[in-house]
């Protein structure tokens, strides 16, 4: 199959194209309705199809003769553990855990929060929910109690699954006190908390509410997968929007399964039996699509890694895993490779390992800078591909389709649109722009299967956030352009979202916390360049008159506040006091101008700016930061 043929067909007749993709698929009942349009511009794929995502990931693979094949390789340098689970073993574990969930009163459509480190039980928990039609929401373990509480109140879970601790290098991070604190903060209370005790730390249990995972699972009866509708939600994944309230992206069973099959085969070039390594955490969308559902639904062996790119034990860690498990394809974020490069610039550690099994590397989550790209290609001798997607889409929007002929790759670009995505560029007024003209990157509706069509409990916010800015298009929030040959260049977010080590964070949420400090009159938080993390937040703060606080003192108080409320993953470490912030005459802070200055992009001070002189101080502050970095 050629890329061009697939792409053209997918745009000319999306329903026919996706009906074909969904044809050769283990539905319980094959859909007769491929695509339905709703009045508000959202779409529904495969509405009358019936399936189960856990069945597709495990039982179906066993039926295809893969029972003895390894499904999951758990490699944990932080606990010195290496363990494999065959498809049969996974199915048995998951079926029993699903039985336990049901015994605890979890039914189809109920929410379940999973707040766990990278242990295989986290993947089993996701699949167990999918097996009985419960809707899981995995919350990244790096989030502080307050963030967990926000998600508990939004998802309203019947059950919360956690572990006693996570491990960061050689540090043990107790999870249970964070869960207890979150449940004090949250209005909604799950009926029970299932706690996986890890040997590195034991959790204090609250009688009547907390249950010991191992003991409870041991006495549970396995259950079979239930039949679900294609539109039934599989999971909620919270992501940062521009406000403090996270958005609960909803992924549907049917579209997700069809899209991930397409992605694993045609984008990543993976076949059943191949070894795939998605390097991320189950707390992110990559963990869902590229550690659990994508590889397992496609009969691959998935590497599940509880470690870091460096210091576990060194910058050769990734290459050790590739050699040891004969990894055929891998995904990681550019920030990880920048960290590896910093420690091993000459690739001396890399050369200790046999990477012959590896066909290519895919990088996404943030812009892949050309220096890291070139370094990685030269040192590894492998093809390195940038590709672009979002939590909302759940699978790549632009990527080289290495499983299809002729999609081509172009360094510096995140490559061409994947079949199903009609990527275009619009100006501020919604007019289409031509090649090489920069504007808002949008996707013409309908979005292909797999992309989120609603937010949990707030459909109106979905329509307003994504579909209203440019009618007929999905608004990605990214700016950039297409070249003459349709290769896409992502220049960064056009809203108040920043990307720290590939993690999306809301500057608005940080501003709320900074502004609540008694000494702060007003503030703006922006993303500034960081060599390893891509971007880190910087708070520009105007003090209340006559407030006796030094910049140093203010900084340490604000850093503690953001760490306590959001978590260390925000990397909020820099605060600068300024005399004024650039504003419009009506008093609105000009964040777009601040972003441009921070990114060292040319800008024209807007005519609405009340006093252009204010920009001199901001430029000086940001320039001094750049020099210091
Ligand atoms: P998330 O939903 O957290 O995965 O963040 C998605 C955002 O990350 C996108 O909207 C982009 O701003 C950014 N992003 C992801 N992949 C890339 C890429 N390959 N190049 C540039 N930006 C990217």
Check if 504 has its Cβ closer than 6 Å to any atom of ligand 1: yes
Query: Which of 152-156, 244-248, 355-359 shows the lowest mean pLDDT across its residues?
Result: 244-248
**Cα 395 to ligand 1 centre (Å):** 11
Helix (H, G, I), strand (E, B) or coil at 456: coil
Torsion over CA: 334, 336, 339, 341 (sign): negative
Check if 45 has its Cβ closer than 6 Å to any atom of ligand 1: no
Best residue for ligand 1 mutational test, from 389, 415, 455 (most atoms within 8 Å of Cβ) = 389
The whole-number pLDDT of residue 35 equals 98
Best residue for ligand 1 mutational test, from 397, 452, 494, 499 (most atoms within 8 Å of Cβ) = 499
Q: Exposed, middle or buried by CB within 10 Å (0-12, 13-18, 19+), for 371?
A: exposed
Residue-wise pLDDT tens digits, 337-380: 999 999 999 999 999 999 999 999 999 998 898 889 999 999 99
Q: Up-side HSE of residue 15: CA atoms within 13 Å toward CB?
A: 11
Residue 246 has pLDDT above 90, yes or no: no
Tell me how far apart the alpha carbons of residues 16 and 559 are, in angstroms, rounded to a whole number.
Answer: 53
Within 10 angstroms of residue 22's Cβ, the number of other Cβ atoms is 25
Where are the strands (E) in 381-472, listed by range? 383-386, 422-426, 439-444
DSSP letter at 135 equals: E
Pairing relationship of beta strands 247-252 and 497-500 according to DSSP bridges: unpaired
Are 102 and 75 in contact, with CB atoms under 8 Å apart? no
The whole-number pLDDT of residue 83 equals 98
Residue by residue, DSSP assigns 306-357 as: -S-SSSSS-TTHHHHHHHHHT--EEEE-HHHHHHHHHH-TT-TTGGGS--TT
Helix (H, G, I), strand (E, B) or coil at 167: strand
Residue 604 has pLDDT above 70, yes or no: yes
Residue-wise pLDDT tens digits, 49-104: 999 999 999 999 999 999 999 999 999 999 999 999 999 999 999 999 999 999 99
**Cα 388 to ligand 1 centre (Å):** 6
Residue nearest to atom 14 of ligand 1 (CA): 366
Within 10 angstroms of residue 328's Cβ, the number of other Cβ atoms is 21
241 — pLDDT class (breaks 50, 70, 90) = confident
Sheet holding 439-444, edge to edge: 422-426, 439-444, 473-482, 488-493
Q: Which of 572, 544, 545, 576 is nearest to 559 (CA)?
A: 572
Residue nearest to atom 20 of ligand 1 (CA): 367
Check if 535 has its Cβ closer than 6 Å to any atom of ligand 1: no
The percent of residues above 70 in pLDDT, for the chain, comes to 99
Tell me how far apart the alpha carbons of residues 333 and 353 are, in angstroms, rounded to a whole number.
Answer: 21
Tell me how far apart the alpha carbons of residues 248 and 233 are, in angstroms, rounded to a whole number.
Answer: 12
DSSP letter at 405 equals: B
629 — pLDDT class (breaks 50, 70, 90) = low
The whole-number pLDDT of residue 449 equals 98
Q: Up-side HSE of residue 458: CA atoms within 13 Å toward CB?
A: 15
**Cα 501 to ligand 1 centre (Å):** 11
The percent of residues above 90 in pLDDT, for the chain, comes to 83
The whole-number pLDDT of residue 77 equals 98
Are 393 and 252 in contact, with CB atoms under 8 Å apart? no
The whole-number pLDDT of residue 133 equals 98
Residue-wise pLDDT tens digits, 261-304: 999 999 999 999 999 999 999 999 999 999 999 999 999 999 99
Residue 400 has pLDDT above 90, yes or no: yes
Q: Phi first, then psi: give them for residue 533, nearest 5 degrees.
A: -85, -5
Mean pLDDT, residues 296-325 = 98
Tell me how far apart the alpha carbons of residues 202 and 176 are, in angstroms, rounded to a whole number.
Answer: 9
Q: Is the peptide bond before 398 cis (omega within 30 degrees of 0)?
A: no
Angle, alpha carbons 503-505-511 (nearest 5°)? 155
Residue nearest to atom 21 of ligand 1 (CA): 367
Tell me how far apart the alpha carbons of residues 365 and 500 are, in angstroms, rounded to a whole number.
Answer: 10
Residue nearest to atom 9 of ligand 1 (CA): 390
Q: Is the pTM of this model over 0.85?
A: yes
Residue-wise pLDDT tens digits, 576-592: 999 988 887 777 788 88
Of all atoms in ligand 1, which is nearest to the CA of residue 477? 10
Q: Which of 381, 347, 345, 344 is nearest to 361 (CA)?
A: 381
Burial profile 210-221: b = 16 or more Cβ within 10 angstroms, e = fewer? bbebeebbeebe
Tell me how far apart the alpha carbons of residues 149 and 144 are, in angstroms, rounded to a whole number.
Answer: 9
Residue 522 has pLDDT above 90, yes or no: no
Tell me how far apart the alpha carbons of residues 147 and 200 are, in angstroms, rounded to a whole number.
Answer: 25
The whole-number pLDDT of residue 546 equals 72
The whole-number pLDDT of residue 107 equals 97
Q: Exposed, middle or buried by CB within 10 Å (0-12, 13-18, 19+), for 580?
A: middle
Q: Go through the domains of the chain in sequence order and give each one's CATH number.
A: 3-307+387-480 (3.40.50.12780), 501-628 (3.30.300.30)
Mean pLDDT, residues 211-239 = 97
Of all atoms in ligand 1, which is nearest to the CA of residue 497? 12
Check if 506 has its Cβ closer than 6 Å to any atom of ligand 1: no
Within 10 angstroms of residue 228's Cβ, the number of other Cβ atoms is 26
Check if 158 has its Cβ closer than 6 Å to any atom of ligand 1: no
Round the average pLDDT of the chain to a whole number and report it.
Answer: 94
Check if 287 has its Cβ closer than 6 Å to any atom of ligand 1: no
Helical residues (DSSP H) of 186-304, grouped into ranges? 213-218, 253-262, 285-286, 294-297
Check if 390 has its Cβ closer than 6 Å to any atom of ligand 1: yes
Pairing relationship of beta strands 165-168 and 171-174 according to DSSP bridges: antiparallel
Length of the chain: 629
Check if 364 has its Cβ closer than 6 Å to any atom of ligand 1: yes
**Cα 543 to ligand 1 centre (Å):** 34
Residue-wise pLDDT tens digits, 538-566: 999 999 887 789 999 999 999 999 999 99
Are 43 and 278 in contact, with CB atoms under 8 Å apart? no
Residue nearest to atom 5 of ligand 1 (CA): 390
């Amino acid at each position: 199959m050629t890329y061009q043929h697939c792409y053209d067909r997918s745009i000319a007749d999306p329903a026919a194209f996706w009906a074909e993709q969904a044809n050769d698929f283990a539905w319980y009942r094959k859909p007769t309705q491929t695509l339905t349009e709703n009045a508000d511009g959202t779409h529904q794929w495969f509405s009358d199809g019936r399936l189960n995502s856990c069945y597709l990931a495990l039982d179906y693979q066993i039926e295809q003769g893969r029972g003895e094949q390894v499904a999951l390789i758990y490699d944990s340098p932080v606990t010195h553990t290496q363990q494999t689970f065959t498809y049969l073993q996974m199915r048995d574990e998951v079926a029993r855990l699903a039985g336990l969930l049901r015994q605890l009163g979890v039914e189809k459509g109920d929410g379940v929060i999973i707040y766990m480190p990278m242990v295989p039980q986290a993947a089993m928990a996701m699949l167990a929910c999918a097996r009985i039609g419960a809707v899981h929401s995995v919350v990244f373990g790096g989030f502080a109690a307050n963030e967990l509480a926000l998600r508990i109140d939004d998802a309203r879970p019947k059950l919360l699954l956690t572990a006693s601790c996570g491990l960061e290098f050689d540090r043990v991070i107790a999870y249970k006190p964070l869960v207890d604190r979150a449940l004090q903060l949250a209005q909604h209370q799950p009926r029970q908390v299932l706690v996986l005790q890890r040997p590195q730390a034991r959790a204090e249990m609250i009688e009547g509410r907390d249950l010991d995972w191992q003991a409870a699972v041991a006495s549970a009866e396995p259950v079979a997968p239930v039949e679900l509708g294609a539109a039934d939600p599989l999971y909620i994944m919270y992501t940062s929007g521009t406000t403090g309230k996270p958005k609960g992206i909803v992924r549907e069973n049917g579209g997700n399964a069809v899209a991930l099959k397409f992605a694993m085969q045609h984008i990543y070039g993976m076949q059943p039996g191949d070894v795939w390594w998605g390097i991320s955490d189950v707390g992110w969308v990559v963990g869902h699509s590229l550690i659990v559902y994508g590889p397992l639904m496609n009969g691959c062996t998935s590497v599940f890694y509880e470690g870091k790119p460096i210091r576990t034990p060194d910058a050769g860690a990734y290459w050790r895993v590739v050699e040891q498990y004969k990894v055929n394809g891998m995904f990681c974020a550019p920030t990880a490779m920048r960290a590896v490069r910093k420690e091993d610039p000459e690739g001396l550690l890399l050369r200790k390992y046999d990477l012959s099994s590896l066909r290519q590397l895919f990088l996404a989550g943030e812009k892949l800078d050309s220096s890291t790209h070139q370094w990685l290609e030269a040192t590894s001798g492998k093809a390195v591909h940038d590709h672009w997607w979002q939590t909302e889409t759940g699978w790549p929007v632009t990527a080289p389709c290495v499983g299809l002929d002729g999609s081509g790759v172009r360094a510096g670009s995140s490559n061409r649109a994947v079949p199903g995505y009609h990527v275009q560029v619009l100006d501020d007024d919604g007019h289409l722009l031509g090649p090489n003209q920069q504007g808002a990157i949008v996707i013409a509706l309908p979005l292909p299967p797999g992309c989120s069509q609603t937010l949990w409990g707030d459909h109106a916010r979905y329509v307003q956030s994504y579909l209203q800015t440019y009618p007929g298009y999905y608004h990605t929030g990214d700016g950039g352009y297409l070249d003459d040959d349709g290769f896409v260049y992502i220049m960064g977010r056009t809203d108040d979202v920043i990307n720290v080590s590939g993690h999306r964070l809301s500057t608005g949420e940080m501003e709320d916390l900074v502004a609540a400090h008694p000494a702060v009159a007003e503030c703006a938080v922006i993303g500034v360049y960081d060599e390893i993390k891509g971007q880190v937040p910087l708070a520009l703060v105007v003090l209340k008159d006559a407030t006796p606080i030094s910049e140093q003192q203010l900084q340490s108080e604000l850093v503690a506040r953001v760490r306590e409320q959001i978590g260390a993953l925000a990397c909020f470490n820099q605060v600068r006091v300024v005399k004024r912030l650039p504003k419009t005459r009506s008093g609105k802070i000009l964040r777009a101008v601040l972003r441009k200055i921070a990114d060292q992009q040319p800008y024209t001070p807007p005519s609405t700016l009340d006093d252009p002189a204010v920009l001199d101080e901001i430029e000086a502050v940001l320039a001094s930061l750049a020099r210091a970095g």
